Structure 1
Amino acid sequence: MALTRLALRHFRNISAAELSLCAGANLFCGPNGSGKTSLLESVHMLATGRSFRSRQHKSVIQEEATGLTVFAQLDSGYSLGVERLADGNGRIRINQAPAESSSQLASCLPLQVIDSESFSALDGGPGVRRRLLDWTVFHVEHSFAQAWKNYQIALRQRNALLRRGKIDAGLLSVWEQRLVESGLQVDGLRQQLFTELRGALLALTSELPQSPVSRVELSYRKGWRKEQELLAALQESREGDIAQGHTRVGPHRADLRFTVAGEAAQNILSRGQQKMLVCALRTAMAELVCNHRGRPVFLVDDLPAELDETNQQLFAQWVSRCASQVLVTGIEVEATSRPWRQLPSPWNNPQVFHVEHGCISAEPSAAQ
């Protein structure tokens, strides 16, 4: 699932660019503020319909432009296109046909992002970690998206009833039953994939035997007490839910926990060790997708600034085993390319692009 061609217009400081990308590593090098991260951001928009830096489309559109476009061809045969207009409108297309939702884009282009914000997984809120698990389940289990959608509908209806002055007990019971049906399906799919994810993560962290990262344990909390049925948990929580106006138990409160000898991992690991743990987690997620669906694409923003040279090399090895392609940014070509040039073909001959003032140009590859 690699990109072979990428074209974008009026995306932040990039007026226009059209690139041919290779399988393996594609490196985008240049000074800060040149447009490197914007390039990665445009690929993320193709896979999700939005930027990973801003939820406001207008802020991504180049100043004085009326809209932006991003288009890509994939080696799978798909073509993806996203248009966002300054007035808030836009279009999503797959193979030139209108797409119903951005989740269809995600199905075509599984994408992992490693940037400075990615490392909040340990000390961020449960929602951050829950979304990581759900990304994996979404790309492996086709039924998850509909189950999660059904759960969200039932959850909104129950919350709306909780906020009413007078509650219709019969109607509340109906929506609680629907919440339980879809919620158990969501939880079951999560638990099934979690077992695989935990195994893949521990296999990767075992490659760091001198680091406390190798002793990290991962556990799953489903969002209500494990010894209790979900319906019973909802009924027990009902009085407090009414007082607060929202549902406080269920799969929407699920979490992943990282511990070392029973202690929260973020209290034990250094910042650099936490970064390697997150890299291992995201690689484990990609491995599961690779095993079930196909190799995903990685976007890595300024890897030399985030990891030391030894860990860069190990991370590059991990990515090369499960990804179809990686797009990496960095300031200096030598430092950015070094981890990849030590890998087997095709990773050891990365395509290098120079980025400056929003202009992107390909440099001749070593094989040419």
Structure 2
Amino acid sequence: MALASLHIHNFRIIDDLSIDLSPGVNLFYGNNGSGKSSIIEAAHCLARGKSFRTSKTDTLIQQGKSYFCIRAALTNRVEVACQRQAGSGRALVNGSSATMLSVASKVPAIFMDSDSHRLFFSSPSVRRSYVDWVLFHVKPGYADVRGRYNKALKSRNSALKAQLSTAPWDPLLADLGDQIISSRRACLNALFAHFHGTASVFNLPVDAHYQPSVEEGGLLQALKDSAMADKVSKITQKGPHRDDIVVCGGGGRLSQGQQKLIYSALAMASWECLSEGGQKPVIMLDDVAAELDDNNRGLLMGMVQATGAQSLVTGVLKGDVERLAAGPMFHVDQGVVSN
């Protein structure tokens, strides 16, 4: 799957933009604030259902306009779109109303920008979300299980706050939680197998493992054992919502540069995992090479090009993106694109 064309309307600095994309590497360059990152951001909204810059989707609507629209024609002749006006949104697949999850399922994408590694290493919740995104694409039905778990967890926490019995929710939460733990472990086993290979490209010794708060099959008993503590804290303290994915170097504190290389290796390992499932995710790199030295920049782009996947890559200077890879080049200035 690749994006054959992308149309963006009333989105940030972009008034109206239609662009045909190569199935290989696509290079965008322009000054800071020119709109090149907004092109990646628009594609990201289709792929992930949200911006990578803000959780406040209404702020993406161009100032003075009442809505934005992002639409893409895919190489498999499917068309996807998302529209947003103040307080409400709409998703479309081939012109029919759909959910953002169904749109996202049509546009698998690996994304990295200059802050991705900082975000990933900042919080267990971000790391959980990362593996859940991989599972969304490789395991049909996982998103439904995760959604049902979240609802059951919310209900159990509400019961704790109201000082009511959690007995009606414990078996359901345990069953769904055990499914999540099992799925995460299988997914991470496959992901880490690729990760050690991609990390070796950067000559990085790495350690990665899954750290569940409870082992598979043990959640119901854990809920019973923590019942008194949960009543005091008024929250559920055991379950996959407390899991972590530990990713670190060979020893000692990681520098920002090492974190970036580790995250880059993890992202490319994720591409391998998704491709094994029959998908070929788009690779989106927003100024990701800016903090890498020439050698590691070349290694990363070598891995990207070796996939044969479509990639959207941004940089400030034309010379910078020319050094990264060969492909169609687009100059971006005030939201307008020229070849």
Q: What TM-score bracket applies, with the shorter chain setting the length?
A: over 0.9
The verdict on how the C-alpha distance between 1:269 and 1:323 changes in structure 2, with shifts beyond 3 A counting, is farther
Distance 1:201 1:21 in 2: 29
User: Which position in structure 2 is the counterpart of 1:254?
Assistant: 243
The 2-side partners of 1:10 and 1:128 are apart by: 30
1:314 to 295, 299, 302: 299
> What residue in structure 2 maps to residue 95 of structure 1?
94
After TM superposition, the structure 1 = structure 2 runs for residues 264-343 of structure 1, keeping only pairs within 5 Å, are 267-322=252-307, 324-341=309-326
Is the contact made by 1:122 and 1:274 (CA closer than 8 Å) also made in structure 2?
no
Q: Which amino acid aligns with 1:33?
A: G
Indicate yes or no: 2:181 matched with 1:187: yes
Give the counterpart of 1:136 among 112, 134, 137. 134
Could you say if the C-alpha distance between residues 64 and 195 of structure 1 is closer, same or farther in structure 2, counting changes exceeding 3 Å?
A: same
Q: What is the Cα deviation at residue 13 of structure 1? A: 0.6
Task: Give the secondary-structure state (helix, strand or coil) at the position aligned to 2:192.
Answer: helix
Q: How far apart, CA to CA, are the structure 1 residues paired with 2:202 and 2:51?
A: 33
- 1:318 Cα deviation (Å)? 1.7
The alignment of Structure 1 onto Structure 2 pairs a total of residues equal to 339
TM, length-normalised to structure 2: 0.96
Q: Is the CA contact 1:139–1:293 (under 8 Å) kept in the aligned structure 2?
A: no
CA contact (8 A) 1:286 1:323 kept: no
* Correspondence list, 1:126-165, <5 A: 126-165=124-163
Matched, 1:231 2:208: no
1:27 matched to 2:16? The reply is: no
1:310 Cα deviation after fit: 1.1
Equivalent residue number for residue 84 of structure 1: 84
Percent identity between matched residues is 33
Secondary structure in 2 matching 1:174 = coil
1:93 maps to amino acid: L
What is the TM-score with the length of structure 1 in the denominator? Answer: 0.88
Structure 1, gaps ≥5 residues long: 342-349, 364-368
Q: Output the CA distance in 2 between the equivalents of 1:357 and 1:260.
A: 41
Whichever residue aligns with residue 282 of structure 1, its letter is A
Q: Distance in 1 between matches of 2:127 and 2:109?
A: 16
Preserved CA contact (<8 Å) 1:79 1:96: yes
- CA deviation after TM superposition for structure 1 residue 336, in Å: 1.2
Conserved? CA contact 1:12–1:38, under 8 Å = yes
Determine if contact 1:121/1:128 at 8 Å carries over to the other structure.
Answer: yes
One-letter identity of the residue aligned with 1:230: L
1:227 CA displacement = 8.8
Q: Which runs of 5+ in 2 are unaligned?
A: none
One-letter amino acid matched to 1:96: G
Aligned-residue CA RMSD in angstroms?
1.6
Deviations 1:20-76 (A, max 9, x none): 000111111110000011111110111233211111122111110011111100112
Shift of 1:240: 1.4
